């Protein structure tokens, strides 16, 4: 009888140990899900299409990093960053706004790089109803509305105003100006025929709705149109942000920028 009880106890102990081992083995063998990091990239409105494609390609090659995109005029984005918005990467259509952030010690030291350049063009609605053939024609009485981005916040407006001032045309044209919040709003005014002419980047003119606008001339600018990008110092994801910057300036990033009409730097 004692031998029988001993055998039962031994069997129970063995069963318990085996169950514990199997449970432990199951816990150890179950793979842990790798964490995904999300970075916020604030970019100038003129980068909307190119940056959307770059972010999509980046996420495919870096599945553990998600990219949230925030598009607006560069000056507005700078003001958001100055106000404490949680931004990891800032891509501007003007050196000025990154310069300001650097002066305020809001950028990560050594992260800044120029990645693209652009050109300014004069465009009109399809059919050119005001018969505009040059920037000088904007002074005609037939032209009553000319759209540019707000020079205070939208670099495209600053570039246009500088060019018109340099050509001694600004004072005569200022009362005709219709300001857009950003370059995409200016483009919309032209696509819908709400203004007689406007100044946008060449890259935006290229993605306008089919048969909605005409390019009249490439406009010389006083300041070269350069796009700098940097990491924001308050970012909690600087490592992932740097991976994105490296991708932006990689051959893949450069090719996408070129496809949209930018000149890729570096």
Q: How far apart are CA 157 and CA 142, in angstroms?
A: 22
Phi first, then psi, for residue 261 (nearest 5°) are 95, 0
Report the percentage of the chain scoring pLDDT > 90. 86
The structure tokens listed for 113 are 């790089």
Q: What is the CATH architecture assignment of 120-218? A: 3-Layer(aba) Sandwich (3.40)
Q: Point out the least confidently predicted range of 30-39, 71-80, 84-93, 223-232.
A: 30-39
In the block, residue with structure tokens 């950028």: 107
Q: How far apart are CA 254 and CA 99, in angstroms?
A: 24
pLDDT score of 232 more than 50: yes
Confidence bin at 1 (pLDDT 50/70/90): very low
Strands 197-201 and 177-180: unpaired
Top-level class of domain 37-117+226-264: alpha beta
Cα torsion angle, 142, 144, 149, 152, sign: positive
Residues 6 or more apart whose Cβ sits within 8 Å of residue 6: none
Ranges for all domains in the chain classified under CATH 3.40.190.10? 37-117+226-264, 120-218
Could you tell me which residues are beta bridge partners of residue 70? Answer: 42
Residue 12 pLDDT? 43
Residue 26 pLDDT? 46
Residue 24 pLDDT? 45
pLDDT score of 25 more than 50: no
pLDDT score of 73 more than 60: yes
Residue 31 pLDDT? 41
Do residues 171 and 203 touch, judged by C-beta distance below 8 A?
no
What's the average model confidence in pLDDT over 231-240? 98
Residue 233 pLDDT? 98
Confidence bin at 27 (pLDDT 50/70/90): very low
Secondary structure (DSSP) of 160-188: HHHHHHHTT-HHHHGGGEEEESSHHHHHH
Residue 224 pLDDT? 95
What's the average model confidence in pLDDT over 230-245? 98
Q: How far apart are CA 222 and CA 44, in angstroms?
A: 20
Q: How far apart are CA 15 and CA 218, in angstroms?
A: 83
pLDDT score of 150 more than 90: yes
What's the average model confidence in pLDDT over 223-233? 97
Cα 232 to the chain's mean position, in Å? 14
Q: How far apart are CA 44 and CA 230, in angstroms?
A: 13
* Cα 140-182-146 angle, rounded to 5 deg: 5
What's the average model confidence in pLDDT over 99-113? 98
Residue 3 pLDDT? 46
Edge to edge, the sheet with strand 113-117 lists 65-72, 37-44, 89-91, 226-231, 113-117, 263-264
**What average pLDDT does the structure give for the chain?**
91
pLDDT score of 75 more than 70: yes
pLDDT score of 8 more than 90: no
Residue 247 pLDDT? 98
Cα 63 to the chain's mean position, in Å? 20
Residue 222 pLDDT? 97
Running DSSP on this structure, what letter comes out for residue 153? T
The torsion region of residue 108 among left (phi > 0), alpha (psi -120 to 50) and beta comes to: beta
pTM for the complete prediction? 0.82
155-166 helix and 95-103 helix, angle to the nearest 10 degrees: 110
Do residues 90 and 42 touch, judged by C-beta distance below 8 A?
yes
């Amino acid at each position: 009888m004692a031998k029988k009880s001993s055998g039962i106890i031994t069997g129970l102990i063995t069963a318990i140990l085996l169950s514990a081992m199997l449970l432990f083995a199951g816990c150890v063998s179950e793979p842990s899900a790798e964490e995904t990091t999300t970075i916020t990239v604030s970019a100038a409105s003129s980068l909307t299409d190119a940056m959307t494609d770059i972010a999509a390609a980046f996420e495919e090659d870096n599945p553990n990093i998600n990219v949230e995109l925030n598009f607006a005029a560069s000056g507005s984005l700078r003001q958001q960053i100055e106000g404490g918005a949680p931004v990891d990467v800032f891509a501007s259509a003007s050196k000025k706004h990154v310069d300001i952030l650097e002066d305020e010690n809001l950028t990560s030291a050594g992260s800044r790089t120029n990645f693209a350049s652009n050109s300014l063009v004069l465009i009109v609605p399809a059919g050119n109803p005001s018969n505009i053939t040059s920037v000088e024609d904007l002074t005609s009485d037939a032209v009553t509305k000319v759209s540019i981005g707000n020079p205070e916040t939208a670099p495209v407006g600053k570039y246009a105003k500088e060019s018109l001032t340099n050509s001694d045309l600004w004072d005569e044209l200022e009362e005709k100006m219709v300001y857009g919040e950003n370059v995409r709003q200016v483009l919309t005014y032209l696509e819908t025929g709400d203004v007689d002419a406007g100044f946008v980047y060449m890259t935006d003119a290229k993605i306008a709705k089919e048969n909605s606008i005409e390019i009249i001339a490439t406009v010389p600018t006083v300041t070269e149109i350069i796009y700098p990008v940097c990491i924001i110092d308050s970012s909690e994801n600087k490592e992932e942000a740097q991976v994105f910057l490296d991708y932006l300036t990689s051959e893949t990033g450069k090719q996408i920028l070129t496809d949209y009409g930018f000149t890729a730097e570096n």
